[in-house]
């Protein structure tokens, strides 16, 4: 478990001081994928670099499994860092080394013998899916492959936690998805705690369990991804949710397509953490003698299940329609009647 207490960083320039990270308190559970989102300049990059002390904190503490990173001597810090993997936006691979040699580098630092290194590198290459590219130089790899090398390198010494500093921001959307699924895969396989920072909400939506929103060095909102998605409180959070979900639902309700519906009822089905599938709709159609027409929907899959809303038109006799609505209401799906005929 990682416990961050009153963590602060002040940058001193000649004529002013900048509070990049402002008294952050945070608790990250073992095996969790934790996302920190914020616009550039919010301090998230400084925040993640404080965790392994690439940046020296001005105040506060970082406890990883009860060991206070901020109190360690230089020598102990070096040893602790071998248990904290880190991947970077621009990969930061060694150009003069092949894929194998890059992955072996942290093992050399940890003092493993040549045969041990070679064995471990083979495992890692397989884990990140780089078989066949072992002897290529970074210049010969695509961005996604470079990041896979970065991930293998970060995992080499079996770290307790993996820090991801905008790990997908330099990649195209398709490659981003493949790297994200690799991270989820690793998280599940190895039970590894992952802390990532990003400015892209879909990264949070796809892989994180919990999220914190950062603005001006402070955490302005945090919670489970579903909670933050379904009830964003701060304006900045709402903006991030819109990145993925489009415009807010209350605006959708006023849309022309709803006004033009002239028979039956329009329902808004809100899915929060539901294992959404089409069976739900067909169940309703089978059970009740109603016509269901899907008008519009926006459902995203998150780590904790689906989140989003679906607008449907229900037609039938008043009695059957209200029975159907009552049934839908009895499930965990929230039902709201948006328009009547």
Nearer to other proteins, 55 or 249 (CB): 55
Nearer to other proteins, 88 or 327 (CB): 88
What ranges in 57-128 are assigned the alpha helix state H? 74-81, 99-110, 114-127
Q: Among residues 18, 59, 79, 294, which is the contact residue for other proteins, using CB under 8 A? A: 79
Stretch that binds other proteins, among 31-39, 74-82, 292-300, 316-324 (CB under 8 A): 74-82
Q: How far is the CB of 79 from other proteins (least distance, A)?
A: 6
Q: Among residues 39, 88, 280, 327, which is the contact residue for other proteins, using CB under 8 A? A: 88
Nearer to other proteins, 86 or 266 (CB): 86
Distance of alpha carbon 305 from alpha carbon 275, whole angstroms: 5
Residue the block writes with tokens 């579903």 = 226
Among 82, 76, 63, 126, smallest CA distance to 100 is for: 126
Q: How far is the CB of 27 from other proteins (least distance, A)?
A: 23
Q: Which two tokens stand for residue 107?
A: 């093992």
Q: Which of residues 161-200 bind other proteins (CB under 8 A)?
A: 163
Q: How far is the CB of 86 from other proteins (least distance, A)?
A: 4
Give yes or no for residue 108 binding other proteins (CB under 8 A): yes
C-alpha 173: how far from chain center:
15
Q: Which of residues 25-64 bind other proteins (CB under 8 A)?
A: 52, 54
Which of helix, strand or coil describes residue 317? coil
Residue span 9-28 as binding mask against other proteins, x where in contact by CB under 8 A, dash where not? --------------------
HSE on the CB side for 65, CA within 13 Å?
9
Nearer to other proteins, 45 or 230 (CB): 45
Angle among Cα 179, 171, 136 to the nearest 5 degrees reads 75
Nearer to other proteins, 82 or 296 (CB): 82
End-to-end Cα, the chain, rounded Å: 54
Stretch that binds other proteins, among 102-110, 217-225, 276-284, 322-330 (CB under 8 A): 102-110
Q: Among residues 14, 113, 139, 251, which is the contact residue for other proteins, using CB under 8 A? A: 139
Stretch that binds other proteins, among 103-111, 226-234, 301-309, 323-331 (CB under 8 A): 103-111
Distance of alpha carbon 259 from alpha carbon 236, whole angstroms: 31
**Beta strands across the sheet bearing 84-88:** 84-88, 161-165, 193-198, 33-37, 210-215, 218-224
Stretch that binds other proteins, among 18-26, 86-94, 179-187, 323-331 (CB under 8 A): 86-94
Angle among Cα 26, 64, 90 to the nearest 5 degrees reads 80
C-alpha 62: how far from chain center:
21
Q: How far is the CB of 111 from other proteins (least distance, A)?
A: 11
| Residue 259 burial class via C-beta count within 10 angstroms: exposed 0-12, middle 13-18, buried 19 and up | exposed
Give yes or no for residue 90 binding other proteins (CB under 8 A): yes
Angle among Cα 206, 228, 69 to the nearest 5 degrees reads 80
Q: Which helix (H) or strand (E) holds 280?
A: helix 279-287
Give yes or no for residue 112 binding other proteins (CB under 8 A): no
Q: Which residues lie near other proteins (CB under 8 A)?
A: 52, 54, 77-82, 84, 86, 88, 90, 92-97, 105-106, 108-110, 137-139, 153, 157, 163
């Amino acid at each position: 478990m990682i416990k961050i207490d009153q963590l602060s960083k002040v940058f001193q320039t000649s004529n002013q001081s900048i509070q990049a990270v402002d008294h952050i308190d945070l608790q990250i559970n073992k095996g969790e994928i934790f996302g920190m989102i914020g616009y550039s300049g919010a301090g998230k990059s400084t925040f993640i670099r404080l965790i392994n002390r690439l940046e020296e904190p001005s105040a506060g503490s970082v406890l990883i499994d009860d060991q206070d990173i901020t109190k360690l001597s230089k020598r102990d810090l070096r040893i602790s860092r071998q248990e904290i993997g880190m991947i970077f936006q621009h990969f930061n691979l060694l150009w003069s080394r092949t894929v194998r040699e890059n992955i072996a580098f942290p093992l050399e630092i940890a003092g493993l013998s040549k045969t041990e290194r070679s064995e471990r590198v083979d495992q890692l290459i397989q884990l990140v899916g780089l078989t066949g590219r072992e002897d290529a130089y970074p210049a010969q790899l695509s961005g996604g492959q470079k990041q896979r090398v970065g991930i293998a390198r970060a995992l080499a010494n079996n770290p307790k936690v993996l820090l991801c500093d905008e790990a997908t921001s330099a990649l195209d959307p398709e490659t981003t998805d493949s790297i994200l699924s690799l991270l989820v895969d690793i998280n599940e396989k190895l039970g590894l705690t992952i802390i990532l920072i990003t400015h892209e909400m879909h990264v949070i939506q796809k892989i994180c369990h919990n999220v914190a929103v950062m603005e001006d060095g402070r955490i302005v909102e945090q919670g489970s991804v579903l909670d933050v998605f379904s009830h964003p409180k701060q304006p900045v959070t709402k903006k991030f949710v819109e990145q993925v979900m489009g415009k807010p639902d209350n605006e959708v309700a006023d849309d022309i397509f709803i006004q033009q519906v002239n028979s039956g009822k329009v329902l808004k089905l809100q899915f929060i953490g539901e294992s959404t599938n089409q069976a739900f709709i067909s169940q309703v159609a089978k059970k009740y003698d109603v016509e269901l027409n899907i008008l519009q929907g926006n459902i995203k899959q998150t780590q904790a299940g689906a989140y989003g809303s679906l607008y449907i038109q229900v037609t039938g006799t008043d009695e059957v329609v209200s029975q159907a609505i009552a049934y839908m209401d009895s499930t965990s799906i929230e039902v709201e009647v948006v328009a009547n005929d």
